[in-house]
Chains A and B, each alone.
Chain A
C-alpha cells in the first residue's frame, strides 16, 4: 500500500516541481534533478510528460538526461554507493575497493544495481576530496581512506539495519 501511495504522491510532486520552476524550458536541469530525487531515477513516461509540459521535444529532454551522469534512466537501488576512481583515488588503491564491492554485490561495470534493488554501485571520476583518497560515498555519507575490508564492513552494517527494519 505504501509504495502505491507514494506513486500518487510522486506524481503530485512532479506537478509541484513543474510549477515551482514556472514550467520554463531554461530550468530543465533543476527540474530533472528534483524529479530524480523523487523517483530515484527518471522514468520514461514522466520524462515525456515533462517534455509536453515544457514544450520541448522528448528527444531534447532525453539528450539532457543522458548528457549528465548524475541523471539515471534506470531505476536505482535503495542505497547508492559511489566510489571515486579519479587519478588520486586510483593510485591510492580504489581498484581493490571497487573489486571487493562488486564481488560482494555480484555487480560489474555494466550491471550496477542489485536484483533486489537494494544497492546501486557506481564509479565516479572525481569527488574533489583527493586528500581523503580513496573516497567512497554511501548515501551522501563520505568515507575517506577506505580499504576493501572497511567497505565490506559498511555493507554489513547496512544489511543488518535493513534486516532489523524488515
Chain B
C-alpha cells in the first residue's frame, strides 16, 4: 500500500526516504542546510533545516524519520524567522570579505543570506579573529569563515578514514583544527581536498597557484606547455554553463592558447604510457611470482596515505609514477630539443581535477637539480578562473585540437578519470595475455559502476581485480590484504568519490547527478575516439622506439618509475624517557609507531627500561621512544647507539644493552 506524508498540506509519496529533508527535496522543496550530506552521517548541528511537524512542533528535518500520514510545514513564519536568526548569527562571526573569497560565487552562506533576504545583521561579532593555516601546498584553511557544520570533519573521518581534522575546544572557542593546532602540512592530511569540496563556505579552499602561472606565461623567456588531465574536460563546462561533453577538451585547448600557453598536450597520453608500463609490471610480477596484489599508484592522496599507514604494503604499490609525473619527465626530457628551449626555461603546467597533485609535483624525487618535472599543478577551478580573468568567452569558443605528439591519446588514457578506469585500461592491454574476451564495444562492464568497492573475477578466476574509491574502504581492503584474507591480483585505489572525476579540484558539486554526468561523459569520450587501447597509440610506439626501448627498461625506470618511503603521520618530537643524566650516554631508541607497536615494541621498551633501572645503568644509557624509524616492514626497530636492529627481539636487545654496559663499566 502506498504511504503518504503531507508537506504543506500536499500529499507526497513516501518511498522509504529515511529523513524529511530528502522527502521534501523529492517534493521540489529545497530546505536549507549546511550539515546534511547524503554520503555522510547525520549530524543535525546547523539547525537550518527545522520544519514543523503537526503534534510535535519544530524538528530538524535531516534527523527526523517520516511516518505515514505525517503532516509537516516547511515555511511557517516562525521557521522563516528562525532560519534568518541562525544565518544572521553565523554572519555576525563570519569574515565577510566576500569579494576576495575564492568561493564567492559558490558559497552556501552567501546564497542563503540572499535567499532569506537578510539585509541587516542584528548581532555583533563575538569571536576573535584566528590565524589562517597557510602551511599546506594544496589547501588553505581560514577559521574565520567556518560555520562549524562539521562536513569536512566527517568527510575526512567517515569517507577517508583519516581524521586529520576535528573539532577542538568548546563553546565560544570551538574550531576545526588539525592535531595540536598544527598546520595541515604537518599532520596526516593526504591533500585529497574533499574537505574543501564539501565546505559550504570559504573556510577551506584550494591553494591558488594562478599568480605563478600568469607569471610564467608573461615571462618572455619561458616556454609554457600545458597538460590536461582527462577528468578536467568533462567538468570545466560546469563553470561556464557549457554541457559536460568531450568537446570541452577542444574548447579548453583553444582557451589555453588564447591565454598564452605555447603548447597544449594531453595527460591522457601519459596515461596511455602508464598503462603500458603498469600492465607490463603487473604481467612480470604475475608470471615471476612478484609482489601481488599490485596496487595502482596514480592517486597521490592514496600514495601518501599508504606511505603513512601501510608501510608493509609499499612494495605492493606499482612503481609507476602517476600520468602527471610521467608526462613531466617525458616533457623535460624531449621538449627542450623539439621546442628549441633551454630546459630551465621550459615550464610544464598541469591542469588537474585534483588538489593532491600540487603536493605530488613538489615531491623531492620529482625535482632534479632544482628543476621540477612538473612546475605547477593548477586545478579545474583555477583554470576556469584564469579563463574568466582573461575575459575569454568560453561558451562560444570553436574547439581546437591539441599538439602532437604528446597531445594524442586513446580512450584507455581518457577513462583514467573514472574509478575503475585504470583497471579497465590495463585489462584492455593485457586481455590477450590472459585470454579475456573483449567485446566489440571494448567496454569491460565488470569494473564499472558507482559502488565504493567493486570486484571483478576474470580469466576463469585467474585474474582477480578490486576497485575501491574512498580511503576508508581502501583501509578495510588493505587490512584484509595484510591479514591474508583476500588474494586479488590488482587493486585500484582512488581517494575521491568516483575517482578523479569527483576530485576536489573540480568545480563544486551540488548534486550526485552532476558527478555521474562527468563519469558518463568520460566513457562517452572513450567511445567516440578512434582508438581504445594504449598499445594502439602510434606516438607511444614512437616514444619507445626513440627513447625508452622496451616497457620497464632501464630508461623507462629512470623516467617513469619511482620509489616510496614510509613517512610519519605527525611531525612530532621524540618521547624522551631517559633514565640518566651523564653525558656521552649510549642512545637507545625504540620505535613505538603503529607498525612496531603491533609487533611488540612496547614490551621491548618497558623491559629495557626495567633492565637499565634494576642494574642502575642510568648513566650509560639514554633511552627514548621514537615514533618512526621509517622501516616499518622490518619492525620492531630498535637503535642501540649507531646499531639499528630490525625485527628486534627482547633477548637480542637485552644482550646488546648488557654488552654495552659491561664495556662501559671496564
A residues sitting closer than 8 Å to B (CB atoms) are 1, 4-5, 7-8, 10-12, 15, 43-49, 51-53, 56-63, 66-69, 73
Contact = CB atoms under 8 A, between A and B. Distances in A.
Contacts of B606: 12, 15
Nearest to A56: B163
B168 interface: yes
A54 to B, nearest CB: 11
B575 A45 contact: yes
Contact of B594 (A43, A52, A61): A52
A58 B577 contact: no
Contact of A15 (B578, B602, B627): B602
A4 B606 CA distance: 15
Contact of A58 (B180, B576, B579, B618): B180
A4 B569 CA distance: 28
A15 B607 CA distance: 12
Nearest to B622: A4
Nearest to A51: B179
Contacts of B573: 44-45
16 contacts: A1-B580, A8-B579, A11-B577, A11-B625, A15-B606, A44-B180, A45-B627, A47-B180, A48-B569, A52-B594, A59-B164, A59-B187, A62-B166, A63-B166, A63-B177, A73-B180
Interface in B39-76: none
A55 B534 CA distance: 42
B427 interface: no
Contacts of A4: 578-581, 618
B572 A44 contact: yes
Contacts of A53: 597
Contacts of B572: 44-45, 48
B187 A58 contact: yes
Given A1-B618, A8-B609, A52-B594, A62 B577 contact: no
B659 interface: no
Given A57-B157, A59-B164, A59-B187, 6 more contacts: A4-B579, A4-B618, A44-B180, A46-B575, A52-B592, A58-B180
Interface residues of B, number: 43
Contact of A66 (B169, B187, B609): B169
A51 B164 CA distance: 12
A66 B605 CA distance: 29
Nearest to A3: B581
A159 B102 CA distance: 57
B578 A58 contact: no
Contacts of A1: 580-581, 618
A63 B175 CA distance: 9
Contacts of B157: 57, 60
Given A12-B609, A49-B592, A7 B164 contact: no
Interface in B158-185: 162-170, 177-181
Nearest to B609: A8
Given A11-B625, A12-B606, A59 B163 contact: yes
A48 B597 CA distance: 13
Contacts of A15: 602, 606
A68 B164 CA distance: 20
A48 B570 contact: yes
B554 interface: no
A7 B597 CA distance: 20
B241 to A, nearest CB: 39
Contact of A57 (B170, B179, B580, B610): B179
A7 B577 contact: yes
B21 interface: no
A129 B552 CA distance: 76
Contact of A59 (B166, B578, B602): B166
Contact of B177 (A5, A46, A62, A68): A62
Contact of A7 (B169, B578, B594): B578
B570 A58 contact: yes
B499 interface: no
Nearest to A73: B180
Interface string B186-198: 0110000000000
Contacts of B580: 1, 4
Nearest to B579: A8
Contacts of A58: 179-180, 187-188, 569-570
B623 interface: yes
4 nearest CB pairs, A to B: A57-B163, A58-B179, A59-B166, A45-B575
A5 B610 CA distance: 11
A85 to B, nearest CB: 16
Contacts of A62: 166, 168, 177, 179-181
B169 A11 contact: no
A56 to B, nearest CB: 7
Nearest to B582: A1
A62 B167 CA distance: 9
A96 to B, nearest CB: 26
B333 interface: no
B613 interface: yes
